[in-house]
Amino acid sequence: MRYAEWCIAAPTLEADIAAAAMGLDDIGHSRVLYGSLRELGTPDAAADDAATYANVPYLDRPWTEWTQFVAANAVLDSAFTLMMEALANGSVDVLRTRLKKMLQEERYHTLHGRSWMQEVNAGAALERAWREALAWIGPENSDVDELHRAGRLAYGVRDLRRLLEERLEGQAAPNALEWAGWEPIRRRTQPGGIDQATLEMLQGLAEKRYMPASG
């Protein structure tokens, strides 16, 4: 959703189009991934309101600077892609096939993020995105490591951290994270949540306003 908000605000026309395309890709991916949680034995996350909707804090509010977009694209998108790779190379058959096309699409998000990261100095935004990506991956010996030990995820927490660092080669890694306040379902340490208007769009409530009344 945040990508799509930049479809007429990015620095070049080509970047506008890429923002729209990547936004559409990721909305599709998130819908499939939410539906895939039960394949991992995880109950569907409750997402009735902003307090329970599971998103990283970086996405709580619209971005005001292009560098924030670039940092999300280079860091958070890479972290999400690595988790998809871990699922696609894990032992759950349905995910192995379902995630293949997603990973093909994510390849272009990676190219986009990596190239723009070289073009602009995303500094503070990059550091924040990296910290939140590590929080999203979670602490060692949590659910991610349990799924890894069970073979369902091809990578554990340490693998994911290392692979993310490799993708961000040349960038300064954040200091060790404080895990106090970490929410295991929402995978974040900061309170708060996504803005109401975006939540309604993500839940399809915004579309329903225009549906004909039934009965």
Partner 1 sequence: MPYTRVHAEVHEYDVFARKTRVEPLHQVGSVVAPDDDLAMAYARATYDEERWVEMMIVPKAAIISLWAPGGDS
Where do contacts with partner 1 occur on this chain (CB under 8 A)? 11-12, 14-15, 17-18, 20-22, 108-109, 111-112, 114-116, 118-120
Helical H segments across the chain, by residue range = 13-36, 66-71, 77-88, 93-98, 100-119, 123-137, 143-149, 157-167, 196-202, 205-208
Minimum Å gap between C-beta 74 and partner 1 is: 12
Longest dimension (CA), the chain: 60
Nearer to partner 1, 110 or 142 (CB): 110
Minimum Å gap between C-beta 204 and partner 1 is: 24
Q: What are phi and psi of 188, to 5 degrees?
A: -150, 160
Nearer to partner 1, 34 or 108 (CB): 108
Q: Is 188 strand, coil or helix?
A: strand
Nearer to partner 1, 125 or 134 (CB): 125
Is 202 in contact with 193 (CB distance < 8 Å)? no
Minimum Å gap between C-beta 17 and partner 1 is: 5
Nearer to partner 1, 74 or 160 (CB): 74
Minimum Å gap between C-beta 87 and partner 1 is: 23
Is 95 in contact with 124 (CB distance < 8 Å)? no
Q: Which residues of 129-156 are buried (b: 16+ CB within 10 A; e: fewer)?
A: bbbbbbbbbbeeeebbbebbeeebbbbb
Place of tokens 């010996």: 141
Minimum Å gap between C-beta 109 and partner 1 is: 8
Nearer to partner 1, 15 or 157 (CB): 15
